[in-house]
Amino acid sequence: MNLPALCAALLLIAPLVPTANTSSQTSRESDTRQLQQLEQVWNKAHIDGDADALDRLWADDLEVSVPRMAVMNKTDALAFARSGRMKFLRYTTSGLNIRVYKDAAVVSGRLQRTRSMNGKEISDDWQFTKVYIRQGKRWRVVSFHASDAPQS
């Protein structure tokens, strides 16, 4: 086969040959969509005071570290969520950056929330990072860390 015929043959079959990037990119896009949905579930569960939804979302070895509170594990965080001592009036995230690494993912962004506690409204403006792991076919949060956002 001469060179022009070989080039023509390659051009004809090239679209038929699957590439490894196509399936991994599709999988990564699917994971990113799932994680975006889970971020909405997280936010809605906080607004609704839905500790059961948080229980399903959090891994058993969850660790939560937020400003002005002691570090909490899943048991502590669920007890606090179920206590009803804090009601969220606003819980919104923005500027999400989602990075997927096989069976782990990191989601970071900004969290602005307003909560009512003991009759007082308190607003928080945080930068946050969540670490998700895939357990079976489900993504679950193993770590949530927040710090005060820089004020501009």
pLDDT, tens digit (0-9, with 9 covering 90-100), for 126-139: 999 999 999 999 99
- Locate 33 and state its tokens: 């969509």
Predicted TM-score (pTM) of this structure: 0.81
Torsion sign (Cα): 55, 32, 98, 142:
positive
pLDDT, tens digit (0-9, with 9 covering 90-100), for 75-118: 999 999 999 888 999 999 999 999 999 999 999 999 999 999 88
The domains located in the chain, with CATH, are 25-148 (3.10.450.50)
- Cα 60–chain centre separation: 16
Looking at residue 35, its pLDDT comes to 98
- Locate 107 and state its tokens: 């989601």
Looking at residue 117, its pLDDT comes to 86
Torsion sign (Cα): 17, 21, 27, 33:
negative
Q: Over range 59-68, report the average pLDDT.
A: 97
Give the H or E element holding residue 122.
Answer: strand 120-135
* Nearest residue to 29 (alpha-carbon basis) of 129, 117, 98: 98
* Nearest residue to 54 (alpha-carbon basis) of 88, 94, 24: 88
